[in-house]
Amino acid sequence: MRLAFLRLAAALLLLPSAAVAQAGEPPAFSLTDGADHPLAGRIWSVARAAFVEPAEVETAVAGARFVLLGEIHDNPDHHALQAHLLAAASEAGRRPAVVLEMLARDRQGDVDAYLGGGQATAEGFGAALGWAQSGWPDYAIYRPVIEVAVERDLPIVAGDTPREERRKVAAEGAEVLGAERIAALRLAEPLGEAADAVLLDTLFDGHCALMPREALTPLVAVQRLRDATLADAMISGGISGAGEVAVLIAGSGHVRKDLGVPRYLEWREPDAASVAVGFVEVVEDRTEPALYAGGSAEAPPPYDYLWFTPRQQRGDPCESLRARFGKSE
């Protein structure tokens, strides 16, 4: 990791100053809940334990081979900022592959067919890929990312594991993938006891503490497969695009450096410079940036930068799951 950091630092020194300034100012927030929070709009450098200006993040993404932009899926401000940093990553003649968690690998043919038809638009991309039927939030909030990709003729890569493969792994374990694929994806590498515990805790909390932890153990293998597959898509997608650069658009959990996609990238491409940005919704009465996004008094947040935004107003995400399990609060 130290070698990768030094390579990134060297790359940043060599970049022309114009290459990091052409993305323009970060977009204004569209959400208002929490917009007056003291952290809203600020960026925290985890390594430096200090607030930094947007230009530093733009410089970092403009010099990295792998850029990971972690969102909360239904927050439009996160997608607008992803589009802003994607533009920064594609300055100075760079042509990064845009890897989407929202599309499974078996949809790549559909992506290529639409983009290769000669009439591709950002608006038409959502309809062509059946976004409205996919279960993801409204395509309109993702469109800024696709607009940058289409306007700059960037490769778009379907990144996630197909659902059927997830089901097989959940039912039969990772062994169903076969030894060759397990080795290629580096799934046999241990995350470590601490990261394993965090991953299981994350799944437990994600299921609203309604399922026993032991029942969630098969989903750990699924989550690891998804992270490894997204890393594989970044590596192969980058090779297919000029400069071997890739930008991942994914949920913030996938972007965590302790247990997500960055671990697999480091195992497979240890000398490649990468940067992970987590977009974080502010929480009322919480003003210490190091305590957000999995950070604690004992350990810093597992990202390179935290970019704070207003929060999306949403109902209780556990309500429907409690109804499904026949449980009340």
- The rounded distance, in Å, linking the Cα atoms of 122 and 144 is 8
What band does 243 get if pLDDT is binned at 50, 70 and 90? low
Please write the tens of the pLDDT for every residue from 279-315.
999 999 999 999 999 998 889 999 999 999 999 998 8
Of residues 24 and 325, more confidence is placed in 24
Residue 209 has what pLDDT?
A: 85
Q: Can you say how many angstroms the Cα of residue 260 is from the centroid of all Cα atoms in its chain?
A: 9
Cα 32 to chain centroid, rounded:
24
Q: What is the spatial distance between Cα 263 and Cα 66, in angstroms, rounded to a whole number?
A: 12
Q: How much is the average pLDDT of 39-56?
A: 98
- Where is average pLDDT lowest: 33-42, 161-170, 206-215, 251-260? 206-215
| pLDDT grade for 325, boundaries at 50, 70 and 90 | low
Tell me the C-alpha distance between 309 and 30, whole Å.
10
pLDDT band per the 50, 70, 90 thresholds, residue 217: confident
Model confidence at 211, pLDDT cuts 50, 70, 90, reads confident
Give CA–CA dist 132/139, Å, rounded: 7
Q: pLDDT exceeding 70 applies to what percent of the chain?
A: 89
115, pLDDT greater than 50: yes
Angle, CA of 165, 167 and 173, to the nearest 5°: 85
How far from the centroid of its chain's Cα atoms is residue 139's Cα? Answer: 17
- The answer to whether residues 271 and 244 touch, using CB atoms and an 8 Å cutoff, is no
